């Protein structure tokens, strides 16, 4: 059956990739120029981890801001090169085949494949070809000044409750029928994203989302590969 | 008004000097590749111990810059070149450029444009050599151009004639020294010749000979040799020649610095510009000043480079365990790819032939695509990282050296090259003379091997240190932005000839063109004691007899 004018929305983290933004930030911090910088930024990422974890159950906007602070003063060139390395050495191996299967199926059904990620554009653009079926990628963007990251993310930040509002705007712009669209996500802040479509599915959900999915009687999928 | 480079050069006869240098070769190959309708190109060459024909054949057959021509024309290349290029024996260090009279007369009649790319790029050479090449040579070319029936001239100089100045450097020929003193260039030319004569006389003075003789006698006696007159006079003669080269180099540097230029190269280049301007007011000529000419963006192929270059030592250093690069963060290093410089020469050449030229055209990037040296240092470190992760010789190189990021730092930093060389020297000396007497024979042999490695490392470090010192005015001492707008006054129809540094993606250029280019074409000969790679065409180029397909007998080409 062809599902024209419909989309399949995938939250990358937990659904397509088993690695999140903190791992990426830690990798970048550990590869800064000079030992002092490496220690400082790695420590910053380590401190951000519990904050991100606590906030992660609800709105992740602030969590993402904190997690990306350690990018401050890193050059655009270094981010680009390290992103390539990170994708090739680490992230490629973290792609979940079951997630790819879901994308393949949705593509076969004629849906527009939209991947939403909290990751930064340099990394996500690198992994995009490996996800094979992506029509549109929405991710976070680092702010740069004079070729150096300021440590801030450019608004709107992906990962917060805003996802649901954003989704409706996106559907309007692309003339998508959300009632017939599907969405796959696994975190608490994705509640609004999932509830905006007709066919939501919780994938490897965290505590908050699992509870909500059960209450709403949404299907729940579990996979580790 | 927009004009077409191909149309402007169609049927035009060009005399090219410096056609065997880095810029000159790219100019020549690009002209032949992109302007098949160009008239005759007369390439002025020295034989350098062989016939010019033999040298020309060797260059066309072995130099990688000629690869696009071989690939496009294959077996027909000899005919293609014979129809367009005439190699002429001559040197710039004598009037009429030592060209045979009959040929010179023909050139005076025919030539439309003289492109003078010749020059000595050595920063602090024997001042006599610098004057002969950069000053007298340029004036001889201008003199020849002035004697031609219709020739215009473009003189390739350097942006760094601006000297030790800070700030925005306009596209004009200065009338003062860089330190602001009004300068009569003709008087300065005479003064420079006097300095050379005085230095020569000083080297021949009784006092110098007496000092050298005493030194030689003392040295011979210390080594246990009898100081015979023959032995002493022979050694003094050799020392005198060596000393003359050193004092001549120093004399040039001292005069340059006194007036505000960082070295003899920029000083003599600046004088050549100034004197040509005042001596040949009626000559249709222009000056093209490239900044630091580096690897090609696209032509003859991405990353082509050869010989001495500025960023090479910095990049090489950033890939070693020495991570402190003497450079001031925020200062520009004005790098410009050679093919963009050649595009600039074509545009300025067309403009001067049309009589619409500016006095000076600067081809740099700092005004339009600013590249600070700290970004360049980081890009170099990242380039080495990428390279070593894939091709490092061992795990230490792959895992540690690849992450040993170079950073811009103060020249006086504790871990600068000079201090590290001193440490290596002390360790080497200890291994050779300070080690305990009673150690096993194998240990002694091991120590001697390590000392030999130490010697090698010291030599390499000294070489790098000297080059870094030479470049310090540009990498640390001065903040210079070279205006590069005059070429924009001549809109060009063909995109391939445009001068567009603002379109350079520095990261892509540095990591995919420049660094791989240096690794392949420059580092082997400069730092690794290896032969530079040459090109071997499937069908070798031969010189043909005029109007035939027969190869020219070697003796006739001489």
**Tens of pLDDT, residues B73-85:** 999 999 999 999 9
Q: Which of B379, B403, B407 sits opposite A77 (nearest CB)?
A: B379
DSSP track, B366-390 = TTTS--BHHHHHHHHHHHHHHHHHH
Per-residue pLDDT at B466 exceeds 90? no
DSSP track, B11-44 = T--EEEESTTSHHHHHHHHHHHHH-TTB--EEEE
Question: Would the CB atoms of A78 and B382 count as touching at under 8 Å?
Answer: yes
Question: Would the CB atoms of A77 and B507 count as touching at under 8 Å?
Answer: yes
A173–chain B nearest CA distance, Å: 33
Q: What is the average per-residue pLDDT within B300-319?
A: 86
CA nearest to B330 within chain A: A146
Give the pLDDT band (50/70/90) at residue A161. Answer: low
Question: Would the CB atoms of A85 and B379 count as touching at under 8 Å?
Answer: no
Per-residue pLDDT at A1 exceeds 60? no
Give the pLDDT band (50/70/90) at residue B546. Answer: low
Candidate from A88-92, B389-393, B436-440, B538-542 with smallest mean pLDDT = B436-440
Query: What per-residue confidence (pLDDT) applies to B555?
Result: 41
CA nearest to A79 within chain B: B382
Query: What per-residue confidence (pLDDT) applies to B558?
Result: 37
Rounded to whole angstroms, the Cα distance separating A196 from A183 reads 9
> Which ipTM did the prediction report?
0.88
Of residues A120 and A56, more confidence is placed in A120
Q: What is the average per-residue pLDDT within B404-418?
A: 86
Rounded to whole angstroms, the Cα distance separating A76 from A84 reads 13
Residue-wise pLDDT tens digits, B268-296 = 999 999 999 999 999 999 999 999 999 99
Rounded to whole angstroms, the Cα distance separating B362 from B376 reads 21
The answer to whether B15 touches B151, Cβ cutoff 8 Å, is: yes
**Residues on chain B touching A77 (C-beta within 8 angstroms):** 375, 378-379, 382, 507
Question: Would the CB atoms of B385 and A81 count as touching at under 8 Å?
Answer: yes
Question: Would the CB atoms of B378 and A85 count as touching at under 8 Å?
Answer: no
Query: What per-residue confidence (pLDDT) applies to B119?
Result: 85
Per-residue pLDDT at A2 exceeds 70? no
Q: Please, which residues have CB within 8 angstroms of residue B473's CB and are 6 or more apart in sequence?
A: B164, B262, B263
Residue-wise pLDDT tens digits, B156-177 = 999 999 998 899 999 999 999 9
Question: Would the CB atoms of A77 and B386 count as touching at under 8 Å?
Answer: no
Per-residue pLDDT at B320 exceeds 80? yes
Q: Is B418 exposed, middle or buried (0-12, 13-18, 19+ CB in 10 A)?
A: middle
The model carries a pTM of: 0.89
Identify the residue whose tokens are 């990426």: A24
Rounded to whole angstroms, the Cα distance separating B274 from B245 reads 27
Question: Would the CB atoms of B381 and A80 count as touching at under 8 Å?
Answer: no
Q: Which of A31, A33, A85 sits opposite B378 (nearest CB)?
A: A33
Rounded to whole angstroms, the Cα distance separating A120 from A141 reads 5
Query: What per-residue confidence (pLDDT) applies to B556?
Result: 43
Residue-wise pLDDT tens digits, B326-346 = 888 899 999 999 999 999 999
């Amino acid at each position: 059956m062809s599902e024209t004018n419909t989309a399949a929305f995938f939250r990358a983290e937990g659904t397509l990739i088993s690695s999140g933004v903190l791992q990426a930030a830690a990798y970048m911090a550990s590869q800064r120029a000079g030992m002092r910088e490496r220690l400082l930024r790695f420590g910053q990422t380590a401190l951000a981890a519990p904050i991100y974890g606590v906030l992660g159950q609800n709105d992740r906007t602030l969590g993402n801001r904190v997690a990306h602070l350690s990018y401050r003063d890193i050059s655009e060139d270094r981010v680009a090169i390290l992103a390539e390395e990170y994708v090739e050495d680490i992230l490629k191996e973290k792609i979940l085949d079951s997630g790819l299967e879901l994308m393949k199926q949705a593509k076969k059904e004629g849906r527009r494949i939209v991947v939403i990620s909290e990751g930064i554009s340099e990394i996500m653009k690198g992994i995009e070809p490996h996800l094979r079926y992506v029509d549109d990628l929405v991710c976070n963007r680092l702010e740069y000044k004079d070729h150096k990251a300021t440590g801030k993310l450019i608004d709107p930040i992906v990962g917060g409750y805003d996802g649901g509002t954003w989704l409706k705007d996106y559907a309007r712009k692309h003339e998508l029928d959300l009632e017939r669209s599907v969405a796959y996500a696994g975190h608490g802040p994705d509640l609004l994203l999932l509830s905006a479509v007709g066919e939501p599915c919780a994938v490897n959900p965290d505590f908050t989302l699992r509870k909500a999915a059960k209450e709403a009687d949404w299907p729940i999928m579990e996979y580790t590969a | 008004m927009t004009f077409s480079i191909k149309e402007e050069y169609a049927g035009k006869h060009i005399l090219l000097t410096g056609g065997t240098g880095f810029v000159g070769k790219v100019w020549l190959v690009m002209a032949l590749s992109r302007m098949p309708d160009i008239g005759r190109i007369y390439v002025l060459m020295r034989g350098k111990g062989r016939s010019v024909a033999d040298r020309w054949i060797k260059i066309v057959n072995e130099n990688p810059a000629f690869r696009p021509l071989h690939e496009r024309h294959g077996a027909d290349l000899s005919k293609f070149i014979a129809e367009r290029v005439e190699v002429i024996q001559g040197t710039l260090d004598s009037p009429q450029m030592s060209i045979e009279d009959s040929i010179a007369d023909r050139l005076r009649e025919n030539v439309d444009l003289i492109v003078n790319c010749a020059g000595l790029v050595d920063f602090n050479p024997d001042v006599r050599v610098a004057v002969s090449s950069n000053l007298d040579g340029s004036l001889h070319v201008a003199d020849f151009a002035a004697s031609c029936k219709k020739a215009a001239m473009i003189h390739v100089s350097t942006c760094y004639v601006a000297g030790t100045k800070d700030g925005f450097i306009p596209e004009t020929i200065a009338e003062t020294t860089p330190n602001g003193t009004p300068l009569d260039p003709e008087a300065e030319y005479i003064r420079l010749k006097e300095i050379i004569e005085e230095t020569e006389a000083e080297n021949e003075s009784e006092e110098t000979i007496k000092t050298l003789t005493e030194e030689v006698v003392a040295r011979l006696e210390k080594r246990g040799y009898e100081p015979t007159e023959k032995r002493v006079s022979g050694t003094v003669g050799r020392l005198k020649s060596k000393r003359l080269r050193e004092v001549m180099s120093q004399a040039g540097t001292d005069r340059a610095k006194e007036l505000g230029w960082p070295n003899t190269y920029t000083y003599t280049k600046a004088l050549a510009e100034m004197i040509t301007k005042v001596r040949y007011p009626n000559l249709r000529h222009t000056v093209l000043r490239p900044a630091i000419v580096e690897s090609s963006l696209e032509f003859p192929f991405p990353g082509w480079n050869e010989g001495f270059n500025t960023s090479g030592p910095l990049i090489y250093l950033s890939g070693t365990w020495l991570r402190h690069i003497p450079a001031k963060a925020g200062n520009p290093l004005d790098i410009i790819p050679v093919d963009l410089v050649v595009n600039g020469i074509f545009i300025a050449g067309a403009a001067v032939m049309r009589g619409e030229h500016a006095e000076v055209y600067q081809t740099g990037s700092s005004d339009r695509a600013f590249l600070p040296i700290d970004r360049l240092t980081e890009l170099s470190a990242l380039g080495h990282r990428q390279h070593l992760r894939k091709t490092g010789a061992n795990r230490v190189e792959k895992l540690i050296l690849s992450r040993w990021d170079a950073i811009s730092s103060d020249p006086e930093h504790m871990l600068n090259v000079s201090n590290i060389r001193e440490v290596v020297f002390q360790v080497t000396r200890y291994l050779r003379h300070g080690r305990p007497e009673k150690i096993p024979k194998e240990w002694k042999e091991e120590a001697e091997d390590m000392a030999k490695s130490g010697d090698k490392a010291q030599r390499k470090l000294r070489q790098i240190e000297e080059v870094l010192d030479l470049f310090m005015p540009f990498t640390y001492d001065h903040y210079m932005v070279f205006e590069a707008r005059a070429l924009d006054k001549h809109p060009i129809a063909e995109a391939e000839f445009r001068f567009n540094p603002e379109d350079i993606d520095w990261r892509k250029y540095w990591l995919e063109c420049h660094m791989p280019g240096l690794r392949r074409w420059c580092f082997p000969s400069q730092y690794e004691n290896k032969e530079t790679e040459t090109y071997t065409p499937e069908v070798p180029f031969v010189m043909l007899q005029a109007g035939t397909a027969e190869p020219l007998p070697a003796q006739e080409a001489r």
